[in-house]
Amino acid sequence: MPLKKTIDRAKKDKAEGKSAGTQAGEFVKEEIDTIRKGKHGARSAKQAIAIGLSKARRAGVDLKPPAKGTTSAKTRRSAEQAYKKGQKHAPVSKTRSRASERALKKESTVAASHTALSRQAHAAAKKRTGADRSASAQKAARTRKKRMS
Protein backbone atom coordinates (compact mmCIF):
# COMPACT_ATOMS: atom_id res chain seq x y z
CA MET A 1 0.00 0.00 0.00
CA PRO A 2 1.53 3.34 -1.00
CA LEU A 3 2.04 6.04 1.60
CA LYS A 4 -0.48 8.88 1.75
CA LYS A 5 2.23 11.47 1.03
CA THR A 6 3.16 9.60 -2.17
CA ILE A 7 -0.44 9.64 -3.37
CA ASP A 8 -0.69 13.34 -2.49
CA ARG A 9 2.50 14.13 -4.46
CA ALA A 10 1.14 12.22 -7.46
CA LYS A 11 -2.17 14.13 -7.24
CA LYS A 12 -0.22 17.40 -7.09
CA ASP A 13 1.72 16.37 -10.22
CA LYS A 14 -1.57 15.62 -11.99
CA ALA A 15 -3.00 19.01 -10.98
CA GLU A 16 0.12 20.67 -12.41
CA GLY A 17 -0.53 18.96 -15.75
CA LYS A 18 2.41 16.58 -15.58
CA SER A 19 2.38 13.27 -17.44
CA ALA A 20 1.20 9.95 -16.02
CA GLY A 21 4.82 8.79 -16.11
CA THR A 22 5.86 11.68 -13.86
CA GLN A 23 3.00 10.91 -11.48
CA ALA A 24 4.08 7.26 -11.42
CA GLY A 25 7.64 8.38 -10.70
CA GLU A 26 6.52 9.31 -7.18
CA PHE A 27 5.59 5.67 -6.55
CA VAL A 28 8.88 4.45 -8.05
CA LYS A 29 10.76 6.85 -5.75
CA GLU A 30 8.84 5.49 -2.75
CA GLU A 31 9.72 1.93 -3.76
CA ILE A 32 13.44 2.77 -4.12
CA ASP A 33 13.38 4.45 -0.67
CA THR A 34 11.62 1.39 0.82
CA ILE A 35 14.30 -0.92 -0.56
CA ARG A 36 17.12 1.37 0.60
CA LYS A 37 15.67 1.38 4.13
CA GLY A 38 15.86 -2.43 4.05
CA LYS A 39 12.12 -3.09 4.42
CA HIS A 40 12.41 -5.50 1.50
CA GLY A 41 14.61 -6.06 -1.56
CA ALA A 42 14.38 -6.67 -5.29
CA ARG A 43 16.28 -8.78 -7.80
CA SER A 44 17.15 -5.82 -10.00
CA ALA A 45 16.61 -2.10 -10.46
CA LYS A 46 14.19 -3.01 -13.27
CA GLN A 47 12.06 -5.05 -10.83
CA ALA A 48 12.09 -2.22 -8.27
CA ILE A 49 10.84 0.21 -10.95
CA ALA A 50 8.22 -2.30 -12.11
CA ILE A 51 6.88 -2.65 -8.55
CA GLY A 52 6.59 1.14 -8.29
CA LEU A 53 4.77 1.39 -11.62
CA SER A 54 2.39 -1.39 -10.59
CA LYS A 55 1.62 0.45 -7.33
CA ALA A 56 0.96 3.60 -9.33
CA ARG A 57 -1.47 1.81 -11.65
CA ARG A 58 -3.25 0.21 -8.68
CA ALA A 59 -3.49 3.62 -6.99
CA GLY A 60 -5.37 4.98 -10.00
CA VAL A 61 -2.65 6.79 -11.97
CA ASP A 62 -3.72 6.81 -15.62
CA LEU A 63 -0.55 5.01 -16.73
CA LYS A 64 -1.40 2.81 -19.70
CA PRO A 65 0.08 -0.71 -19.93
CA PRO A 66 3.01 -1.08 -22.37
CA ALA A 67 2.15 -1.51 -26.05
CA LYS A 68 2.21 -4.92 -27.72
CA GLY A 69 5.71 -5.90 -28.79
CA THR A 70 7.54 -3.62 -26.34
CA THR A 71 7.49 -6.08 -23.41
CA SER A 72 6.66 -9.72 -22.79
CA ALA A 73 3.03 -10.88 -22.79
CA LYS A 74 3.32 -11.71 -19.08
CA THR A 75 4.49 -8.19 -18.18
CA ARG A 76 1.80 -6.58 -20.34
CA ARG A 77 -0.93 -8.78 -18.82
CA SER A 78 0.26 -7.92 -15.30
CA ALA A 79 0.24 -4.19 -16.15
CA GLU A 80 -3.25 -4.48 -17.66
CA GLN A 81 -4.55 -6.17 -14.49
CA ALA A 82 -3.00 -3.50 -12.26
CA TYR A 83 -4.42 -0.74 -14.48
CA LYS A 84 -7.95 -2.25 -14.38
CA LYS A 85 -7.75 -2.68 -10.62
CA GLY A 86 -6.69 0.95 -10.20
CA GLN A 87 -9.56 2.21 -12.32
CA LYS A 88 -12.08 0.22 -10.22
CA HIS A 89 -10.64 1.17 -6.79
CA ALA A 90 -11.10 -2.41 -5.55
CA PRO A 91 -9.51 -3.50 -2.25
CA VAL A 92 -6.12 -5.24 -2.38
CA SER A 93 -5.96 -8.98 -1.62
CA LYS A 94 -4.24 -9.45 1.77
CA THR A 95 -3.04 -12.95 0.82
CA ARG A 96 -1.42 -11.80 -2.42
CA SER A 97 0.08 -8.74 -0.73
CA ARG A 98 1.57 -10.83 2.10
CA ALA A 99 2.97 -13.41 -0.33
CA SER A 100 4.74 -10.83 -2.49
CA GLU A 101 6.09 -9.06 0.62
CA ARG A 102 7.54 -12.32 1.99
CA ALA A 103 9.20 -13.10 -1.35
CA LEU A 104 10.70 -9.61 -1.61
CA LYS A 105 12.08 -9.76 1.95
CA LYS A 106 14.41 -12.55 0.78
CA GLU A 107 15.90 -10.39 -1.98
CA SER A 108 18.93 -8.11 -1.80
CA THR A 109 18.75 -4.33 -1.35
CA VAL A 110 21.55 -3.78 -3.91
CA ALA A 111 18.89 -3.24 -6.61
CA ALA A 112 18.25 0.27 -5.24
CA SER A 113 21.91 1.28 -5.13
CA HIS A 114 23.08 4.37 -7.00
CA THR A 115 25.16 2.18 -9.35
CA ALA A 116 22.30 -0.21 -10.16
CA LEU A 117 19.86 2.64 -10.89
CA SER A 118 22.46 4.47 -12.97
CA ARG A 119 23.12 1.32 -15.01
CA GLN A 120 19.37 0.80 -15.53
CA ALA A 121 18.82 4.43 -16.60
CA HIS A 122 21.73 4.25 -19.05
CA ALA A 123 20.42 1.00 -20.59
CA ALA A 124 16.90 2.44 -20.88
CA ALA A 125 18.17 5.67 -22.49
CA LYS A 126 20.21 3.73 -25.08
CA LYS A 127 16.99 2.14 -26.37
CA ARG A 128 15.45 5.55 -27.15
CA THR A 129 16.18 7.76 -30.15
CA GLY A 130 17.74 11.19 -29.79
CA ALA A 131 14.53 12.82 -31.05
CA ASP A 132 12.48 10.93 -28.48
CA ARG A 133 14.78 11.98 -25.62
CA SER A 134 14.75 15.58 -26.87
CA ALA A 135 10.94 15.66 -27.09
CA SER A 136 10.51 14.40 -23.52
CA ALA A 137 13.08 16.92 -22.24
CA GLN A 138 11.20 19.75 -23.97
CA LYS A 139 7.90 18.57 -22.48
CA ALA A 140 9.53 18.44 -19.02
CA ALA A 141 10.78 21.99 -19.50
CA ARG A 142 7.27 23.18 -20.38
CA THR A 143 5.76 21.72 -17.21
CA ARG A 144 8.63 22.70 -14.89
CA LYS A 145 7.85 25.40 -12.34
CA LYS A 146 9.27 28.82 -13.08
CA ARG A 147 12.18 29.69 -10.80
CA MET A 148 11.86 32.80 -8.70
CA SER A 149 14.90 35.03 -9.23
pTM, full prediction: 0.81
Predicted confidence band at 128 (pLDDT cuts at 50, 70, 90)?
Answer: very high
Stretch 15-19: mean pLDDT, rounded?
90
Arithmetic mean of pLDDT over the chain? 90
Of all residues in the chain, the percent with pLDDT exceeding 90 is 68
- What are the structural domain ranges in the chain? 4-141
How would you class 31 by CB atoms within 10 Å of its CB: exposed for 0-12, middle for 13-18, buried for 19 or more? buried
Stretch 130-140: mean pLDDT, rounded?
90
Query: Exposure pattern of 47-62 as b/e (b: 16+ CB <10 Å)?
Result: bbbbbbbbbbbbbbbe
Kindly state the DSSP code that residue 39 receives in the 8-state scheme: S
pLDDT tens column, 23-76: 999 999 999 999 999 999 999 999 999 999 999 999 989 999 988 988 899 999
Residue 107 CA from chain centroid, whole number: 19
> CA of 81: how far to CAs of 33, 38, 56, 58, 105, in Å?
25, 28, 12, 9, 24
